[in-house]
Structure 1
Amino acid sequence: MMDIKTLQDGRYDGMFAAADAYDRIGSAFADHSSTWNNGVQGRARNSGWTGQAADKADASLSETGIKVQAAAGELCSIAPVLREGAEAFMLAQNKLAALLTDAKADGYQVGADGSVSWQPATPTAPDQGITIDQMFQQQAREMQATAYGMQIEQVLKEAEHADQVISERLRALTDDARTGKGLTRIAGGLNAMRNLRKEDLVDSAIPKQGSSPTQVNAWWKGLPPEEQQRLLQNHPQQIGNLDGIPSPVRDQANRANLDRTISQLENRGQLSAAEQEQLTGFRAIKQRVASEDEAHRKMPESNPQPYLLAIDTVGQGRAAISFGNPDTATDVVSYVPGLGTKIGGAGGGDADRAKDLWTASKAADPSKDVASITWIGYDAPQLEGATLDSLAVAGTERAERGGASYQTFVQGLRATHEGEPAHMTALGHSYGSFTVGQAAQRPGGLPVDDIILVGSPGTGAQRADQLGIDPKHVWVGAAENDPVTHLPSGAESTGMGVGGYIGAAAGAGFGPLGLITGAVVGGGGGYGVGHLVDEHELWFGQDPASREFGGNRFAVEPGPELSADSHSDYWDFRDERQKKDPSASLANMAEIVTGNGGNATKQSPR
């Protein structure tokens, strides 16, 4: 059985050296095969020798040539097995090292058998028991110890499994060589099929989505540079989408992943509507990244370097693009879009918003190095006709799942940042603000300094202090003519019931505003005056712009009446062509993003 000491003490460079040696031997045998075919069998055939003896000699020489060729193939098949085993062991070794480091930093001791222990709480006086607080702390410590123990056990199991699989593969190759089964054309073909069906041990050893970003970061940094490059080349999708991997590395992996994803979709033949939507979106992202690269090359002072932090075909598609390097920036903001967001938004309007906020932030405080991110890491509700997907805005499931992913993403930004900690801001718009709110209310919260909610239908919280940070750092922008910020509560909390949903369905054919207004009217609501439980109760809890919520409402233009623009113009410049003179909402968000929230102009809460 694999134990901690065995995995820790393993020196796997020797396996790479052995693989290189087998490659050289295999290449030499391949040369022998060529020499035999041309120099021996070929000469005999071309010598003019004919007759029964010549035919038997030719058959014998041909059989020998097949064996030499098969031997070369068998020898060459050993090297990949050794390399894969070395990589799998090395990845497990680094995961174990990261876990042991974290456990020690948290005050735990890990035994040679993987057991995790800690110093329990002691009574404050000999004749007294431990306090209630100490009891809860001890229970939390016990749960964390159990979690560390399970993770260490899992890593050892992965290493043990890799050891068994590699041993079986080498044993099979050895048996083929000893019995001669590997020296036939048929056996060579079967061996190739066996290799095609084999489990990818390296893929299994890479940390999975949702892993602790701090442990992922420690694992990555512990890998030798050549191993990092191998993973980048052979596993770009996993590395590019793994929170805790440094941003420049993710960018490099995801650019390769983007090209590969587009090629796969283009070669798939007849695409479904959803696949075509993804292909169009990924093409837009590729074009946007290329244009931003060129703009940065020409005018770096006004065009930051783009970093592609996520690309995936999961669900509606996943993408994240950063304007500026979040690993070195002094200020980092990650924006979550909402209703109707499509994957192409990362190359279009949602990317525009992130870059416009970067531009406004640089103008607000030129001394700051800002990274502004658009994160499309969940399936946002779509507003396309009276369909169930259209009405998903009324549900919580997408925000809950998206909140879990967003929390890990932001934790990853913290884990990969270099030098002094960055000032970090979470920004959610529309249903995206509900997603941010769900992330903030998860255990552990969001590791941010400020939260901005704009065009919000609620966060699922009744008070700003439920979002895990000081309410003084919870900021709300709500245009008076933005209908989403007046949505009545859903059926679960208000009894809106069928009327609201029918209204939403009836209005859906008229676009986002029609659906929103239909939901309000059908539910008996209006612009903040017809709520059935509380005039400040929105679809997803307390109105963030209300006094009861307890956040900071910053100044925002009221927006045009009865226009969907009122829900989307929070990022406007008054001079859009020159990207100058930001609107009140954009200017205030820029002050908050750069850590100067005290300069933001306030607006009275509702």
Structure 2
Amino acid sequence: MLDYASDLVKQNDNFVAKVDAMEKSVDNAMNGWKGDAAAAASERAIAHKLHGNHLAITIVGIADQYNIYGVSLGGTRDALLRILDIEMKGSGMTVDDDGNVTAPKVPTGVDGSNSASGALTQQVLDGQASGYQTRIKNLLTQFGDGETAAAKAISSDLQALGDYEKKPDGAPVRSDVQAILDGKSQLPADPKKLHDFWETLTPAEKDALYEKDQYIGNRDGLPSVDRDHYNREKLDDELTRAQNGDPAVADKLPDLLAIQKTLKDNPDAMLMLMDTQSGKLAHAAVAVGNPDTAANVSVNSPGLNGNVRDSLGSMVTENRAVKNLAESTLNKLNPDDPKLGQKVVPIAWIGADLPQGDIGKLNQDVDGTTATGYKDVINDTMARAGAPKLASFYDGVRASHDDGSVHLTAVGHSYGSVMTGLALQQSGHQPVDDLVVYGSPGLDLPYKHAWWPVSGDQQVGNLHVPDGHRYEMTGGSDAVANLPRFGDNPKTLPGFTHLETGPHTTPDGVHRGGAYEHADYPRTTDVDGKPQLRTSGWNTAMIVAGLPNEVVKK
């Protein structure tokens, strides 16, 4: 079984390499071949690639079954042979095919001499035989059960393989799916309804929908594993086209390479969003782990100059530091604490265009980028455009979670906190459990009396996050946070808990550096050659982990 699995994997690797070569050849051809025939060829190539991937995944699954059960059955076999070839060797005992063990007969004299001692010896031998027999029969039963389980698991995967064998183009789709493919119907827009519908689909139906909409992995509500799978498919496609000069994506090549590198550097990451077409900038979201299975999930939104090519990798690195600190703290809880050992998955979300430009150059020669960036960052146009997307993403995290009990935290930095504030005010969306903002120029909340705005008199209830679950951090030298543009600084608003940003020895006994400037909050500092989160990072990690009693308050 193990040798067969090894050979199967080798053959499958060759198959995958040939499918990839086919895809690259078609992509190269598409750069110079246009028209209906080219579109049809491209569509057919995508279909073959998808079906090839499912074949490969199914074959890997079969190989895994042979490996898993081969090891298990091999262990049982070794235990049996150890009894037969070592423990029973030279004992004179015999074993039949059913595992019955017969002890040798002790000879007695013709005249019955030594009958007492012979009977005692025979009793001892029979007892040993009975013990061996019990162990052997148990192992034979265990082996038989293992064979049955292996046959069931392998047969199930072979059935899936057989479906593709019978119909190379995949199994037929149901009428409601076909209606979507024909443009007569649409996928549900609501993330929860979409998730429920998606869970009823076969792999062939999912692939067919991807062929129709290659950005389907960006739809909120899809399971994270499917979002990751289809977004990586699209990433590979666009990378090849961008590297071959396709004008539709060539200018996004640095963004695509940044996504590729981030995924390579983080093998456990999931690509939750990958979009080069809907905005002026590329968009992406990367989760450090699987948010559908984690008890605690956060969605982090960056601010000014947040973009995929320059920011995604560093955001994921910072998120990993938060994840590691949060999980290490959760792993040290008391044995009776229900949060002991829980997982934390932060998501770096750059799912909308953000202001770009070196605002520090305003007093120098102002180029177009700087002027545009300044204009964008002092108004909420971009924040309002991105807020519905962020709100929908929150809903998608809840909808796709395995049991719906996820503890969800919204984290917003700088202009990202403005977008976060607006997202939480979107009507008809599920609220988050906790809110953390730092370096915030305001949350764009309406005043209770718009005709006579008073400091601290904004409608914080519009955030739909209860008192005691809203947190803010403001560094002493943070000019952006201390000169709010979009309403009052959250530190002046009721129901917000103000967290420490200065140097502090946190509850884990570590002395941490402070966050002073606008960009400091999520960043690490080097301590003895190792990166370490600041006090602000500790506070973020504790809120994301659902451990508010561990934060350091001002």
Query: Which residue is 1:324 aligned to?
Result: 289
Corresponding residue to 1:362 among 308, 322, 327? 327
Q: Give the 5 Å matches for 1:139-538.
A: 159=179, 201=182, 205=185, 207=187, 211-232=189-210, 234-235=211-212, 237-268=214-245, 278-293=252-267, 305-313=268-276, 314-315=278-279, 316-345=281-310, 347-366=312-331, 367-384=341-358, 385=367, 386-419=370-403, 421-461=405-445, 462-487=458-483, 538=484
Q: Compared with structure 1, are the counterparts of its residues 231 and 445 closer, same or farther at alpha carbon in structure 2 (3 Å cutoff)? A: closer
Q: Which amino acid aligns with 1:543?
A: N
Distance 2:410 2:547 in 1: 15
CA contact 2:318–2:524 (8 Å) conserved in 1: no
Corresponding residue to 2:491 among 525, 540, 545? 545
- CA drift of 1:413 comes to 0.5
1:375-417: per-residue Cα shift (whole Å, max 9, x none)?
A: 0111001124432243201111211121100000110010000
CA contact 2:242–2:251 (8 Å) conserved in 1: no
Structure 2, unpaired ranges of 5+: 1-168, 332-340, 359-366, 446-457, 505-513
CA contact 2:501–2:515 (8 Å) conserved in 1: no
- CA drift of 1:465 comes to 2.9
Aligned residue pairs total 344
Q: Which amino acid aligns with 2:538?
A: A
Distance 1:580 1:587 in 2: 13
Report SS of the residue matched to 2:390. Answer: helix
Query: Which residue is 1:572 aligned to?
Result: 523
CA contact 1:360–1:586 (8 Å) conserved in 2: no
Distance 1:270 1:222 in 2: 38
Query: Which residue is 1:589 aligned to?
Result: 540
- Provide the aligned C-alpha RMSD in A: 2.8
Distance 2:442 2:316 in 1: 24
CA contact 1:346–1:374 (8 Å) conserved in 2: no
1:456-508: per-residue Cα shift (whole Å, max 9, x none)?
A: 00001225333111121011011111111022xxxxxxxxxxxxxxxxxxxxx
What's the TM-score, normalizing by structure 2?
0.58
Distance 2:393 2:498 in 1: 27
Report SS of the residue matched to 1:541. Answer: coil
Q: Which amino acid aligns with 1:486?
A: N
Distance 1:588 1:235 in 2: 44
Q: Which amino acid aligns with 2:523?
A: D
Q: Compared with structure 1, are the counterparts of its residues 591 and 453 closer, same or farther at alpha carbon in structure 2 (3 Å cutoff)? A: same
Q: Which amino acid aligns with 2:203?
A: P
- CA drift of 1:276 comes to 5.7
Query: Which residue is 1:95 aligned to?
Result: none
CA contact 1:437–1:459 (8 Å) conserved in 2: yes
- CA drift of 1:445 comes to 4.6
CA contact 1:285–1:346 (8 Å) conserved in 2: no
Q: Percent of pairs identical after alignment? A: 30
Q: Compared with structure 1, are the counterparts of its residues 400 and 579 closer, same or farther at alpha carbon in structure 2 (3 Å cutoff)? A: farther
Report SS of the residue matched to 1:570. Answer: coil
Q: Which amino acid aligns with 2:259?
A: I
1:138-161: per-residue Cα shift (whole Å, max 9, x none)?
A: xxxxxxxxxxxxxxxxxxxxx4xx
Distance 1:330 1:463 in 2: 30
Distance 2:503 2:468 in 1: 23
Distance 2:401 2:170 in 1: 31
1:548-594: per-residue Cα shift (whole Å, max 9, x none)?
A: 443111111289xxx99711111233446865653111111111001
Q: Which amino acid aligns with 2:489?
A: D
Q: Which amino acid aligns with 1:460?
A: D
Report SS of the residue matched to 1:542. Answer: coil
CA contact 1:463–1:542 (8 Å) conserved in 2: no
Q: Compared with structure 1, are the counterparts of its residues 88 and 344 closer, same or farther at alpha carbon in structure 2 (3 Å cutoff)? A: farther
Query: Which residue is 1:106 aligned to?
Result: none
Distance 1:418 1:579 in 2: 36
Q: Compared with structure 1, are the counterparts of its residues 346 and 413 closer, same or farther at alpha carbon in structure 2 (3 Å cutoff)? A: farther
Query: Which residue is 1:90 aligned to?
Result: 176
- CA drift of 1:235 comes to 4.7
Distance 1:580 1:264 in 2: 37
Distance 1:552 1:265 in 2: 47
- CA drift of 1:236 comes to 6.4
Q: Which amino acid aligns with 2:275?
A: D
Report SS of the residue matched to 2:377. Answer: helix
1:529-564: per-residue Cα shift (whole Å, max 9, x none)?
A: xxxxxxxxx200111012x443111111289xxx99
- CA drift of 1:371 comes to 0.7
Query: Which residue is 1:557 aligned to?
Result: 502
Report SS of the residue matched to 2:294. Answer: coil
Query: Which residue is 1:64 aligned to?
Result: none
**Bigger helix fraction:** 1
Q: Compared with structure 1, are the counterparts of its residues 327 and 318 closer, same or farther at alpha carbon in structure 2 (3 Å cutoff)? A: same
CA contact 2:515–2:521 (8 Å) conserved in 1: no
Distance 1:205 1:308 in 2: 27
CA contact 1:329–1:371 (8 Å) conserved in 2: yes
Query: Which residue is 1:602 aligned to?
Result: 553
Q: Which amino acid aligns with 2:237?
A: R
Distance 2:239 2:539 in 1: 38
Q: Which amino acid aligns with 1:468?
A: H
Distance 1:354 1:459 in 2: 23
- CA drift of 1:206 comes to 5.0
The farther-off stretch of 324-333 and 437-446 is: 437-446
Q: Compared with structure 1, are the counterparts of its residues 578 and 369 closer, same or farther at alpha carbon in structure 2 (3 Å cutoff)? A: farther
Distance 2:387 2:516 in 1: 26
- CA drift of 1:340 comes to 0.7
Query: Which residue is 2:101 aligned to?
Result: none
Q: Compared with structure 1, are the counterparts of its residues 569 and 446 closer, same or farther at alpha carbon in structure 2 (3 Å cutoff)? A: farther
Distance 2:503 2:396 in 1: 36
Query: Which residue is 2:126 aligned to?
Result: none
Distance 2:515 2:254 in 1: 25
Distance 2:245 2:215 in 1: 22
Distance 1:437 1:350 in 2: 20
Report SS of the residue matched to 2:286. Answer: strand
What's the TM-score, normalizing by structure 1?
0.53
Distance 2:224 2:200 in 1: 17
- CA drift of 1:341 comes to 1.1
Q: Which amino acid aligns with 1:278?
A: K
Distance 1:578 1:585 in 2: 20
Distance 1:578 1:88 in 2: 58
CA contact 2:304–2:355 (8 Å) conserved in 1: yes
Q: Which amino acid aligns with 1:306?
A: A
Q: Which amino acid aligns with 1:540?
A: F
Distance 2:253 2:373 in 1: 20
Q: Which amino acid aligns with 2:540?
A: M
